[in-house]
Amino acid sequence: MRKLLLLLLMMAGFSAYSQPKNFTIEQATMGQMRDFGPQSMRSMCWKGSAPVLTYIEDGKLMGVDSKSGVTSVLATIADLSGDAKKAVAREFRVGRVAWNDANTLSLFGANATVVYDLPSKSVKSKVVAPSEAGDYTLNSASSMAAFTIDDNLYYVSGSSTPIQITKDGGKGIVNGKSVHRNEFGIKGGIFWSPQGNAIAFYRMDESMVSEYPIVDISKRVAEYRGERYPMAGMASHQVKVGVYDIKSGKTVFLETGAPSDRFFTNIAWTPDERFILVAEINRAQNEMLLNKYDARSGMFVATLFEEKSDKWVEPQVPALFLTKNPSQFIWQSPRDGWNHLYLYDINGKLVKQLTKGAWEVSELETVTPDDKYVYYTSTAVSPLERHLYKLDIKSGKTVQLTSERGTHNPIVNHAAGLFVDQYSSLNIPNVINIKSIVKPVVVRDLIVAKNPYEGYRMGQERFIKTKTVDGKYDLYGRIILPADFDSTKKYPVVVYVYGGPHAQLVTDSWMGGARLWEFYMAQKGYIMFTLDNRGTPARGNDFYQAIHRKLGEPDIEDQMQGIAYLKSLPYVDADRIGVHGWSYGGFMTTSLMCKHPETFKVGVAGAPVIDWKYYEVMYGERYMDTPQENPEGYARASLLNNVKGLKGDLLIIHSDYDVTVVWQNSLRFIQECVNNNIPVDYFVYPQHEHNVRGKDRVHLMTKITKYFDDNLKK
């Protein structure tokens, strides 16, 4: 009897052990990288031109020799001391390092940089800004850093006393910060000259822009906080580009002239520090001039070239100057319908178009110091994939250096004849190896990551392809079937949508680009579906710009093509289809619920744009023109005019600190629902901005999940 009991207990234990597990909502929300991130190598970079790859592991700087395969510890935080250690300790552990050459590297803190000499294990120099500094920007050539405090610009050399450059910041004047609400590829407002002799910077005057009311409820009596928010068709801020000379301590402003509400972006210094190139875009965003200015006087020199469009122009990347021939630069542009590389001289003469074809350059990785080769990634194989190419600038000969299916993120070391090939695909979590450039074969295998979800119930995922209504374009999507899928049953569907510019959700990368929450929903018995419609990137201008002046029309039409595909599947319950999205995806969700109530039973819209006249100048006017110029388009897109179409269960979620999609959008929609006696559900996250971050995100995803469980799963 004891033996039988013991056998039964062992069998029960084995059964429990082998039973696939489900994710918790906490894991599905916060654990995709924390708990289930595939094995990888943090902060990979080449040790200058040496054939040694370095990375951070457990707070140690590691190096692996490509030839021998020997791995060694190069440095640890214990090698530093005093102020240097204090300045960079936290960031060193998470991997903020960069090699200056084969012997020295920069270690970055939040507001500090330490230059470390590896052979002597000593600190060569350090730059430290005050703890309250923001926008910290280092010039490694001069070992100086510029930064902002409040709305003024400063710089510091070493650990000396900071020098204040501007003094007019405040009351609508902002210096040294990002402008134009981070559109046009803008990521900051400080631009060091190559050798560190001068600093170009943005000066933004937003005093003429209306202050949008934000209320801080954390106070005993709630307090008003104004946010300068330029709505479409209204006054926009005005920007100048200043140039501060370190030696003289004087500032000049580029003489950009009128009108004053244009957009200035893609700022680039010439290597000799004599000139500055600025891409200048008119308010209508259909014309761009690449202008050259004298950096010492600020005087306009010449327009190098212009680009025009009957829809919009949107330069994203500054000119990249060659090294051996610094009078030439590479420019990225979609002027022929696809994003490609062009070689120009400093006088604006087009030397040659470097890349061409019905595909897009995704990233210009590097140009060799001898100006012979360009390395770039592109969509030439598939819009879902990214591969590395080597281009001979003189002959135009191009060699594809990666062949494995998927999305490749390379790090090139041309001097050593090597590159790191890190890639993933739908079913491959992460592969890292070192390959030869001369003959793209694997020199050293580093990581072949295991599936981190082994032992968990995972829904089957695959890509799908359908067509636009006119048959002109392929539409790519992904579908995740429920765990324990049974083709004889019918399942509810949740469509996860974004659908707007600058976001491609469906990629041939690990998990197809899906979030773990989607697999969590598949564990609960849902089919999860996502499709990239016209208006999303990486497909050329015709596909991308189809939404011009008519947001919510071709993009919605394409989503309905995805629905037609779903309805063709015998295991889809066409009476139980839901939709969820955030921001532009919130606009799409609410649009689908209101315009296709016969199809969508349940929706959850996060931070939705409800009427584009409440959205910002830069983004809104690019895609819709102004409300004055395109009243019919704004009226058709406005969901205030489509409230009466709402029949299903809709939950709208917004945050009271949202300064991207202001709260007024969803409040006006609720008001229209009340006016028309239409039921709608609503939830507000206090003191969050455009999305709900941190621990509160678990609450958000729990609420979204429960809404579908309560209203769609039944």
The residues carrying an active-site annotation are: 583, 658, 690
The residue count for the chain: 714
Phi first, then psi: give them for residue 691, nearest 5 degrees: -135, 165
* 3-class DSSP assignment, residue 27: helix
- Cα separation, 476 vs 213, in Å, equals 41
Instruction: Write the single-letter amino acid at 629.
Output: E
- Cα separation, 82 vs 183, in Å, equals 41
Cβ-based neighbour number of residue 276 at 10 Å: 23
- Cα separation, 215 vs 667, in Å, equals 15
Say whether the peptide bond before residue 259 is cis (omega within 30 degrees of 0).
Answer: yes
Name residue 444's beta-bridge partners.
434
Enclosing H/E stretch for 314: none
Which of 387, 388, 393 is CA-nearest to residue 342?
393
Integer-rounded Cα Rg, in Å, for the chain is 27
- The DSSP code for 74 is E
**Pairing of β 104-108 and β 112-117:** antiparallel
CA 404 vs CA 107, 264, 426, 652: distances in Å: 34, 40, 12, 42
Residue owning tokens 């678990």: 698
- Cα separation, 123 vs 84, in Å, equals 8
* 3-class DSSP assignment, residue 548: coil
CB 429 within 8 A of CB 412: no
* 3-class DSSP assignment, residue 439: coil
Torsion angle of alpha carbons 504, 509, 510, 513, nearest 10°? 10
**Pairing of β 152-157 and β 163-164:** antiparallel
**Pairing of β 251-253 and β 211-216:** unpaired
Residue owning tokens 């072949």: 448
- CB neighbours of 607 closer than 8 A, spacing ≥ 6? 582, 583, 586, 653, 654, 655, 658, 660, 661, 665, 666, 690, 691
User: How does 33-69 read in b/e, with b if 16+ C-beta sit within 10 Å?
Assistant: eeebebebbebbbbbbebbbbbbbeeebbbbbebeee
- Cα separation, 352 vs 371, in Å, equals 14
Name residue 579's beta-bridge partners.
495, 603
- CB neighbours of 137 closer than 8 A, spacing ≥ 6? 145, 146, 147, 188, 190, 192
* 3-class DSSP assignment, residue 690: coil
Which of 382, 375, 426 is CA-nearest to residue 403?
382
CB 294 within 8 A of CB 301: yes
- The DSSP code for 601 is S
Cβ-based neighbour number of residue 558 at 10 Å: 26
CB 141 within 8 A of CB 104: no
